[in-house]
Chains A and B, each alone.
Chain A
């Protein structure tokens, strides 16, 4: 079974984000890291692959400047290799263009199963994996809490408003996982050393047969008009607990008539 995991490399979420004033796009000039949300997908892929003989995990990512540091993290966890799409013409791509690029890259890997996070931490559009599935002509099961497979079918517990659904789906298919569903492994020292020599194919748009005019800011069919500061919500009273913290809260709840 060949499992492909979509991995996004994003600006460090611990650092404050900003929009570039000139282009109104997210500033991605700093060092990029693997989106934490994707560590669950990578772990899930590794676990599913280990249960089916002859399986392998390939990472697929799109990032500017041939950025690979986030991919090395996932390779160190145990993925076999990676495909990275990097092309200056991709700057400013909307989610549909990104989906077209990723779908083209994934198609080359001929996967049986594609795993992605339900949404990225930075953009959180949350539609890309399903767009990729539609482009690849595959079924999709989003918001998976638990996944198992025998290599031909997947069984998924899918999150719903009321609880969860047992969903079955033949492969190939696209699955998105929510955070916390598995415990991502920490890369071992051996894994980190091995990751340095694992293969990362860096592809441009020409390699994928995609017209540069149809993606990136040239091909984008949505525009940001302006960015405004949100209405500030004023802070209230801050007290330091000196054994009376609970009573202060009780008094506040009484005032609100909650109790």
Chain B
């Protein structure tokens, strides 16, 4: 394991937290870590990327509104064709990260291992960890055959840490013409009003599930989140039901949260649902069903009616402030 690439995503405040987590993971596995980035400001993040262990950043450049999947994958494939050979490429499990990983997989004709939550080297090859069946079991897997392994890694699987390195060397890596595959264009961007911390960075997450009974009750979950300076989350069941948008979803198919405190209201915690929140330091669960699986991981479980306990708790917290 000599050389690892990390797909570096940039947000409002520079590289995303997950990007820095991947750089830390890569640094622990290989002596040479390089990043691949796009957008107009790659030079301005070279310092942070270097500080977190990247010696070089390949800059795909400004995509002029194109979605990154096709052009960034094409640029990476072109680098490989030119003889740059990473042993592994780490992708963030994000909206764009998965797009680039999927397209690179076809271009290099290599499969992808996704939902990776751990990486280690065993007998010279990279071994992945994947939670299955709601995190009850861990599968270890690896690639066979030649070529760089493509890995899509879940948030909060590794801790970001500065290594104090010098700024990464910026190397231009244009995508070239990707034909019709690059035809999807962003016409306008919309930032949704967000008060309070982001769901995947919040110290407190208050989440609601089917046991809330109706979409209207979700307002109480939001209110409690506000009182605890946390972020509101949701189970897949109520996202599927259209009560709240997908961006609120916590779990296997949604966001991974690792808060100090997770409070689940009317969430049963069946199979797939426990992935994504088991990393919480403390878990409080309220459910009317004594047999709900979430009670098996809760530090405090209250068997009761969320429509009584939740308003009472909000009232109690309001009277304190």
- How many whole Å from A192's CB to the nearest CB in chain B? 22
Residues of A within 8 A of B (CB-CB), count? 84
User: What are the 6 tightest A-B residue pairs by CB atom distance, in nearest-first order?
Assistant: A241-B304, A130-B102, A246-B312, A163-B192, A127-B102, A236-B299
- How many whole Å from B135's CB to the nearest CB in chain A? 6
Q: Is residue B80 within 8 Å, beta carbon to beta carbon, of the partner chain?
A: no
Using CB atoms, name the residue of chain B closest to A155.
B187
**Which residues in window 219-273 of B have CB below 8 A to A?**
228, 236, 239-243, 245-247, 252-253, 260-261, 263, 271-272
- How many whole Å from A94's CB to the nearest CB in chain B? 4
In the complex, what residues of B have CB within 8 A of residue A190's CB?
A: none
In the complex, what residues of A have CB within 8 A of residue B98's CB?
A: 126-127, 130, 142
Interface membership of chain A positions 123-134, coded 1 if the CB is closer than 8 angstroms to chain B and 0 otherwise = 011111111011
In the complex, what residues of B have CB within 8 A of residue A13's CB?
A: 271-272
In the complex, what residues of A have CB within 8 A of residue B242's CB?
A: 180-181, 183
Which stretch from B56-64, B156-164, B290-298 is at the chain A interface? B290-298
Given known pairs A130-B103, A163-B190, A236-B299, the reply for A230 and B313 (CB within 8 Å) is: no
Given known pairs A139-B180, A142-B95, A145-B246, the reply for A238 and B295 (CB within 8 Å) is: yes
Given known pairs A127-B112, A229-B137, A235-B297, the reply for A139 and B70 (CB within 8 Å) is: yes
Consensus secondary structure, chain B interface: mixed
Q: Is the CB of A249 within 8 A of B112?
A: no
Given known pairs A17-B271, A121-B253, A258-B261, the reply for A134 and B301 (CB within 8 Å) is: no
Q: Which residues of B contact A (CB under 8 A)?
A: 11-12, 16, 67, 69-70, 73, 93-95, 98-99, 101-103, 105-107, 109-115, 122, 127, 131-133, 135-145, 152, 179-192, 204, 228, 236, 239-243, 245-247, 252-253, 260-261, 263, 271-272, 278, 282, 284, 286, 290, 295-305, 308-309, 312-313, 315-317, 320
Most buried by B among A37, A128, A180, A227: A180
Q: Is residue A140 within 8 Å, beta carbon to beta carbon, of the partner chain?
A: yes
- How many whole Å from A99's CB to the nearest CB in chain B? 7
Q: Which residues of A contact B (CB under 8 A)?
A: 13, 16-19, 24, 36-37, 94-97, 99, 118-119, 121, 124-131, 133-135, 137-143, 145, 158-170, 173, 178-181, 183, 220-230, 233, 235-241, 245-250, 252-253, 256, 258-259
